[in-house]
Amino acid sequence: MHICLIMNENKSKEQTFGERLKQLRTQKGFSQSELGNLINMHYTQIGRYERGLSKPSAEALALLADILNVSGDYLYEGQTEDAAVADFEDKELLLMFKKTEKLDPESKLLVKKFLAAFLKNKEMESLIAS
């Protein structure tokens, strides 16, 4: 599990729906065919979306967003507040991080210290076991 932030390399140009779709699809390791099969759509339609030749219906957008683990708003409009969701598999853990974000600075620091200590402990256990 890892967090993957979606960022534009070209800051002056906003990413299109098709570019976000292609980026997320490739991040997840899906071919156009595989993604199409998952939502019962021909791969050529996925290609049309990616090239900006077509836009999905609301139903298709919801299916794509669900499979790619992002919000429909992020996928279609690129709202960056949801960008960190792109490759974060554990939604419960993501929700906990979102709640942590709203804590006061002292509490956030405590959470960071606890998480760092826990992860360091897991690394040590792994090294000892191998």
pLDDT at 34: 93
pLDDT at 81: 55
Span 36-88, pLDDT tens digits? 999 999 999 999 999 999 999 999 999 998 888 888 888 888 865 545 544 55
Please report how many Cα atoms fall inside a 13 Å half-sphere around the Cα of residue 70, on the Cβ side: 31
Span 101-116, pLDDT tens digits? 888 999 989 999 998 9
Span 2-39, pLDDT tens digits? 444 444 444 335 789 999 999 999 988 899 999 999 99
Helix (H) or strand (E) holding 47: helix 43-50
CA dihedral defined by 92, 41, 48, 62, rounded to 10 degrees?
-30
